[in-house]
Amino acid sequence: MNIIIFTNGYPLEGKDVFFDNEISFLQERFDEIFIVPILEDGLMPKTSFSYDEVHKGCRVISYDYKKTNLFFKPRNMGDILKSDKQKGLKVLYKKVQHILYSNLLIKILGQIEKEYQLNKKETLLYSYWFHYHALGIARAEGYKMKISRAHRYDLYQEWRIQPFKAYTLSQIDYVFPCSKMGENYLKKMYPGFDNIRTSYLGTYQKGENPKHTSHRLNLLSCSFVHPVKRLEKIVDALSLIDDIEVRWTHIGGGIDFESLKAYAQVLDGKDKILYQLLGNMTNDQVLNYYTSHPVDLFINTSQSEGLPVSIMEACSYGIPIIATDVGGVSEIVDPGKNGYLLDENFKDEVLKDFIEDYYKLDQLNKEKMGRASYKKWADHFNAEDNYNEFYNFIIKNVLSD
């Protein structure tokens, strides 16, 4: 059995980094593994990028195209267009974008089939995102199975225009939202489909977090630096703290990294507040950080989420969480047990109070919260369990066809 996977850039550096956790499970179950990174670049996909032809035993498929070659009418264009009644110029842009990206995907599938003489009936298509890649595999014909994951920006209409979802759902075998909230959302938005099934992502735990040895509270956040992550709210909350010693570390870069550095300078005058912005790290470097630096609390202040893998990682090291109650976050953070939930539009004083509340807990209660975090990870977000369940389900349903 073969599988072709479409990503937003994996295995390129910094792209879909958490997909790396699935590779060993793919290798155990498929003869040929093809990874196709299609990079977003506005209306039409990026045409060139640097890559290795083989990554961890998987073939990475390159492509190059003339933009004019993407302007062809899909055979099933009528059904696609009729499935989506959204209107407006921004909607039209997104619809054209989805058609063009899915056109490229169709061309790439033809290239792979021809070059590697693949038998479609022995090949699965897998989109890591529920957007134009999923539309592309929905349009493909003759393959053994077609599946897609769904996260956040590729799912919720409130955050991004989502064209052709009903058509995509009607033409693929399964969509796997990464949270129960995502599953419920899809079923509410597109009633009548029975091919929507929650499948949690998962992480590995590679050691233990060192025990806290000082009076200073060590806070960690880990995400891209992007407006939706609202990292400035951490700065604002810390600026209100005067009575306890805190060190805040942020891992992750992004479009607003320099702006965050400038914004955080307001903390330079706070005698008891230290901070460091470490920028981008590989996933292995992040896990090594957990095993070499004490972390007391993990903080996520995002305005929108799916179900953050960064929180799963923190839980796996027995670290309590403060996070915004958005997306599927409440599926991993139990208030009063392994952390604190912030309202979506929380005030800075509330985050400050949560930080100080944890600081004032006695050691026994801090350890109790840490154990609850680890148990939540072990019971629900262990990569070994979740990916075995995911791929076993897929293989079982392939063999039953």
pLDDT at 336: 93
How far is residue 164's CA from residue 166's CA, in Å, rounded to a whole number?
6
Alpha-carbon distance of 153 to 132, in angstroms, equals: 12
Residue 283: per-residue pLDDT: 86
Is the pTM higher than 0.95? The answer reads: no
In this prediction, residue 401 has a pLDDT band, given cuts at 50, 70 and 90, of low
End-to-end, the C-alpha distance of the chain in Å comes to 13
- Rounded CA-CA distance 273/238 in Å is 7
Read off the pLDDT of each residue in 38-59 and give the average, rounded to a whole number: 87
Q: How far apart (Å, rounded) are the C-alpha atoms in residues 153 and 131? A: 9
Tokens for 266, please give them.
Answer: 């307001």
Cα separation, 221 vs 117, in Å, equals 46
| Distance (Å, whole) CA 267 – CA 275 | 8
Share of the chain above pLDDT 70, in %: 99
Q: What is the structure's pLDDT at 380?
A: 97
Closest C-alpha among 200, 171, 198 to residue 186: 198
Least confident of 108-112, 119-123, 213-217, 232-236: 213-217
Lowest mean pLDDT among 9-23, 150-164, 185-199, 230-244: 9-23
With b for 16 or more beta-carbon neighbours within 10 A and e for fewer, the 23-56 pattern comes to: bebbeebbebbbbbbbeeeeebbeeeeeeeeebe
Confidence of residue 273 (pLDDT cuts 50, 70, 90): very high
Q: Which two tokens stand for residue 256?
A: 């607003």
Q: What is the pLDDT of residue 168?
A: 97
Burial annotation 6-21 (CB, 10 A radius, 16+ → b, else e): bbbbbbbeeebbbbeb
Any idea which of 30-39, 60-69, 383-392 has the lowest mean pLDDT? 60-69
The chain-wide mean pLDDT, for the chain, equals: 94
Tell me the domains of the chain and their CATH numbers. 2-202+383-400 (3.40.50.2000), 217-380 (3.40.50.2000)
Least confident piece of the model among 200-209, 321-330, 342-351: 200-209
Report the pLDDT averaged over residues 88-108. 95
pLDDT at 65: 85
pLDDT at 252 over 80: yes
297 and 273 in contact (C-beta within 8 Å)? no
| 50 pLDDT tier (thresholds 50, 70, 90) | confident
Say yes or no to pLDDT of 386 above 90. yes
Highest-scoring range by mean pLDDT, 18-22, 211-215, 343-347: 343-347
Tell me: pLDDT of 262 over 70: yes
Residue of 24, 368, 29 whose CA lies nearest to 204: 24
Given the DSSP bridges, would you call strands 32-37 and 2-7 parallel, antiparallel or unpaired?
parallel
Per-residue model confidence (pLDDT) at position 213? 66
pLDDT digits (tens, 9 = 90+) for 295-346: 999 999 999 898 999 999 999 999 999 999 999 999 999 999 999 999 999 9
Q: How confident is the model at residue 75 (pLDDT cuts 50, 70, 90)?
A: confident
Model confidence at 101: pLDDT above 70? yes
Q: Are 324 and 223 in contact (CB under 8 A)?
A: no
Count of CA atoms in the C-beta half-sphere (13 A) of 284: 2
The per-residue pLDDT for range 107-137, each reduced to its tens digit, is: 999 999 999 999 999 999 999 999 999 999 9
